[in-house]
Amino acid sequence: MVVEILGFILLAVLAIALIRHFMKSSPQQAGPPAALDIAKARLAEGEITPEEFAAMKDLLK
């Protein structure tokens, strides 16, 4: 009886740990990209200069 209870508790703890692990590691891309991410992409594509990026970054913070 005690072994069954301990086994159930161990199984429950393992299930909770696995759920929490996968909830943390899943990407959280629920909405549109953030403004800073857009600015980074524009800088990478050469649409804006590093100085323009720095100015945008300062405005966004």
Which residue would you say has higher pLDDT here, 18 or 28? 18
For residue 59, the model assigns a pLDDT of 92
CA–CA separation, 18 vs 10, rounded Å? Answer: 12
For residue 26, the model assigns a pLDDT of 57
State yes or no: pLDDT of 34 exceeds 80: yes
Please state, as a whole number, how many other Cβ atoms lie within 10 Å of the Cβ of residue 52. 13
Question: For the stretch 12-47, what's the b/e string if a residue is b when 16 or more beta carbons lie within 10 angstroms of its beta carbon?
Answer: eeeeeeeeeeeeeeeeeeeeeeeeeeebbeebeeee
* Cα three-residue angle 54-44-38, rounded to 5 degrees: 70
State yes or no: pLDDT of 24 exceeds 80: no
For residue 32, the model assigns a pLDDT of 76
Across the range 33-46, mean pLDDT stands at 93
